[in-house]
A and B are shown apart, each in its own frame.
Chain A
Amino acid sequence: MDPRKKNRGLYECEITEKRRLGPGVFEMTLAPFTADVRAFQFAMVGIPGRGDLLLKRPLCLFDTTPGKEGEIKILVKAAGEGTKALKATPVGTRVEVAGPFGEPRDIPGEHIAVVAGGIGVAGSYLFAKQNAQRISAVYFGSTTRWDDEIYKLLEELGTPARIATDDGTLGRHGPITELLTEADCDAVVACGPPAMLERVYKITAGAGIRAYGSFEARMACGVGACRGCAIPAKPEKASGKEYLMVCEDGPVFAMDVIDWERYRAAGI
């Protein structure tokens, strides 16, 4: 078996803790989950008690404690039917969880700017935590101010945190990418909505800085079987492939591999 596959598994987890971190956003702790997790990897989380919602949800891992007594934390934004149902699920409920999935990827660079948009702070936070020595700053933007707890967590990373909100309720008034133009870094890794990823790509491409993005897509399996989570790619930069799979090839891609026009048209 592929050694990377040995790390993954199927878990019957219990929701051991839930706490609000922002508007419509909550952190969920699931245990037991024994596997090692790398930043931007994700877990497929079932929706308990809702047989009509078949698919597990691919949710980015926010924090991890591997080992026998291990657990994972995920961030959930109650946006669709499944995530709203998760929000309403009480602590103590059992949930089927599979993972961790996604290719662990090494991001080269010694002064890496980490850019997070909204719920994208989950993977960004874990990346900054696991690569603390190489982070120049963490940039976190959201539509409006989140709860104090999330800013405290970012502070505790020990790396500079730059904050922006679209409505000006905290930090810079406007998109987080405006702050990125002033960044002193040799690489950027971004996780957030598609429009933010594209803005990061444009800024970094203009400045000649290597940039990586962690992507999302609708997904059924998480393991490369269903071919559902396709992201349009430039074949000349993606070993001839027209599409890359978020679960198998990603979720982190070098930004210049993405065919942004086709990606935008897909409205993923």
Chain B
Amino acid sequence: MTNLSITINGIEFRNPILVASGIAGYGTEWDGLCDFEKLGGVVLKGVSREPWAGNAPPRLAETPSGMLNAIGLENVGLDAFLDEKLPALEGLDTVIVANVVGRTVAEYADVCEALDKHDRPAALEVNVSCPNVESSGIAFGTNINTLTEVVSACRAATGKPLWVKLSPGVSDIAPFAATAVDAGADALTVANTIPAMAIDVESRRPVLGNTYGGLSGPAVFPVALRLVHVTAHAVDVPIIASGGAVGWRDAVAFMLTGASLVQMGTVLFSAPAAPEAAVTGLAEYAERTGFKEVSKLVGALINKG
């Protein structure tokens, strides 16, 4: 019997498969369709200090083997998150990770501080791909200085394990990974959706109300795999892979390149049962290849020459 559990930052996950932020909602939306108790954990929808209404529609566009979203991080805000959303998960037996978004460094820090006082989130994942309103809307995570500022501020605001979800829209992710770790990240989520767009040539207009969106789904998997590989060579903290995984084979590849945990997201839209199937497939793979503990798969890639 293979041991599927993975422990990072002192948190034990029953297996390495998580549902990614933005797809998992607040943890109850998929009731009856996707059983989070069979998974390692769930990363909840990003929460901001005040409620965010989100972007003008259309917010979604399907692209070959992928999709674009420009939801605009619509969320209920910190108060409703603490008063309504977290309590609704009381009986849910899985690891809960909260995801933090903000428009200013102070907003990020305030949310981290408030979540720090709550028992339930085992860790905080910080989405640094939000536009920085104090710096012409450039995403925090695409500038070394603003990345340092936001991660340092979050670090100071919480004693919980701090995961930083890096932006893929940079020329080299390695210095950003090192910067996040130096500023206090306990683990890195690699990565986020890839900046992209779609155009309706008949109307000659962008498809998305926001013009730009983020690409996700199996189309981005090879990109994410490389980013995990590069990051694993750059830092010593655990890595949580996120980007286009649809099944056990992708999860194994992510783990071999150095990821301790694997988030699945967009695949829930095509197959809500996919994460559970990935757990089964992962166990079978480990059994077949002689790995008694799946944790031993982490970084077990045989590199070329």
Contact = CB atoms under 8 A, between A and B. Distances in A.
Q: Do A and B come from one complex?
A: yes
Interface string A1-34: 1100110111000000000000000000000000
Given A5-B32, A10-B272, A56-B269, A227 B65 contact: no
Contacts of A55: 60, 62, 67, 269-270
B67 A219 contact: no
Contact of A227 (B28, B71, B205, B270): B71
A258 B38 CA distance: 40
Interface in A205-229: 217-221, 223-229
Interface in B1-58: 22-25, 28-33, 45, 53-54, 56-58
| Nearest 5 pairs of A and B residues by beta carbon | A225-B25, A225-B29, A242-B53, A228-B60, A218-B60
Contact of B69 (A224, A228, A268): A228
Interface in A225-255: 225-232, 241-243
B33 A220 contact: no
Interface in A98-115: 98
A226 B22 contact: yes
Contacts of A217: 57-58
Contacts of B89: none
Interface in A252-268: 262, 265-268
B273 interface: yes
Contacts of A223: 25, 29-30, 33
Nearest to B24: A225
Give the interface size bracket for B toward A: 35 or more
Contacts of B29: 221, 223-225
B57 A231 contact: yes
B66 interface: yes
B270 A54 contact: yes
Contacts of B168: none
14 contacts: A2-B28, A9-B32, A52-B65, A53-B62, A54-B269, A96-B270, A98-B272, A218-B60, A218-B61, A221-B23, A221-B25, A225-B24, A227-B54, A229-B60
A46 interface: yes
B75 to A, nearest CB: 8
B31 A2 contact: yes
Interface of A: 1-2, 5-6, 8-10, 46, 51-56, 81-82, 96, 98, 217-221, 223-232, 241-243, 262, 265-268
Main secondary structure, interface of A, reads loop
Contacts of B32: 1, 5-6, 8-9
A220 B28 CA distance: 16
B217 A54 contact: yes
A8 B270 contact: no
B268 interface: yes
Nearest to A10: B33
B269 A243 contact: no
B59 interface: yes
Contact of B65 (A5, A54, A56): A54
B3 to A, nearest CB: 29
Contact of A228 (B71, B203, B205): B71
Contact of B59 (A81, A230, A267): A230
A266 B209 contact: yes
A231 B209 CA distance: 12
Nearest to B74: A227
Contacts of B272: 10, 98
B243 interface: no
Given A8-B33, A98-B272, A221-B269, A226 B71 contact: yes
Interface in B262-286: 266-273
Name which of B31, B66, B273 has the most chain A CB atoms within 10 A of its CB: B31
Contacts of A54: 62, 65-67, 217-218, 266-267, 269-270
Given A1-B32, A54-B266, A55-B270, A220 B57 contact: no
Contact of B54 (A2, A230, A266): A230
Contacts of A5: 31-32
B30 A266 contact: no
A156 to B, nearest CB: 34
B305 interface: no
B290 interface: no
A243 B58 contact: no
A262 B205 CA distance: 16
Most buried by A among B25, B29, B66: B29
A10 B273 contact: yes
Nearest to A44: B269
Contacts of A267: 58, 203, 205
A218 B268 contact: no
Given A55-B269, A223-B29, 17 more contacts: A2-B31, A5-B32, A51-B218, A55-B60, A55-B67, A55-B270, A56-B269, A98-B33, A217-B57, A221-B30, A223-B33, A224-B25, A226-B71, A226-B269, A243-B74, A262-B56, A266-B58
Interface centre among B60, B65, B66, by most chain A C-beta atoms within 10 angstroms, is: B60
